[in-house]
């Protein structure tokens, strides 16, 4: 399997998902099964208490999970479409300033690829932790993904 670099993951996501360009997160780190993104603090994305809107936090986490999926399964895009099939988020503390989102694949990517190669439609979770600059966790999200084989 070829290694997918951060720029390829970023360019793929911003090319495939126009909404990602709207919130414009920064792609900081990527390795198979892990991604780290940062949402810059932008007034037009704020809520009524001056921090990032809940929808921005959700979108940041979903984008971070997508970076994990694209990075881990880039070679499978020719035979399957990655789709988020569910998500659960918990808002824990007031978000202020820049927010980082660290996303982690819940099971080995090789296991997911093998299930797809055997004709299955694998499902797997990506857990995302969002933090303020002071390190406090402001939200946690789990996104359930599938790789839907092309017809």
**Residue 1 in this model has a pLDDT that exceeds 80:** no
User: Tens of pLDDT along 101-120?
Assistant: 999 999 999 999 999 999 99
Contact yes or no for 101/27 (Cβ under 8 A): no
Look at the block and give the residue holding tokens 């603090």.
Answer: 41
Nearest to 33 by CA among 61, 64, 57, 55: 64
User: Tens of pLDDT along 20-72?
Assistant: 999 999 999 999 999 999 999 999 999 999 999 999 999 999 999 999 999 99
N- to C-terminal Cα separation, the chain: 24
Contact yes or no for 137/92 (Cβ under 8 A): yes
**Domain layout of the chain by residue ranges:** 6-149
| CATH class in words for 6-149 | alpha beta
Stated pTM of the model? 0.94
- H-type helices in the chain, by residue range? 6-16, 18-23, 54-73, 109-117
């Amino acid at each position: 399997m070829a290694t997918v670099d951060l720029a390829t993951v970023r360019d793929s996501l911003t090319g495939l998902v126009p909404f990602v360009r709207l919130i414009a997160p920064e792609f900081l780190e990527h390795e198979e099964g892990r991604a780290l993104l940062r949402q810059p603090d932008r007034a037009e994305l704020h809520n009524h208490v001056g921090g990032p809107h809940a929808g921005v936090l959700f979108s940041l986490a979903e984008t971070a999970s997508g970076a994990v999926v694209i990075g881990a399964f880039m070679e499978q895009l020719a035979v399957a479409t990655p789709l988020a099939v569910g998500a659960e988020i918990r808002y824990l503390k007031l978000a202020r300033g820049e927010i980082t989102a660290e996303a982690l694949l819940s099971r080995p990517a090789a296991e997911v690829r093998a299930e797809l190669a055997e004709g299955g439609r694998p499902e797997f979770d990506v857990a995302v932790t969002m933090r303020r600059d002071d390190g406090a966790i402001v939200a946690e999200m789990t996104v359930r993904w599938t790789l839907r084989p092309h017809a």
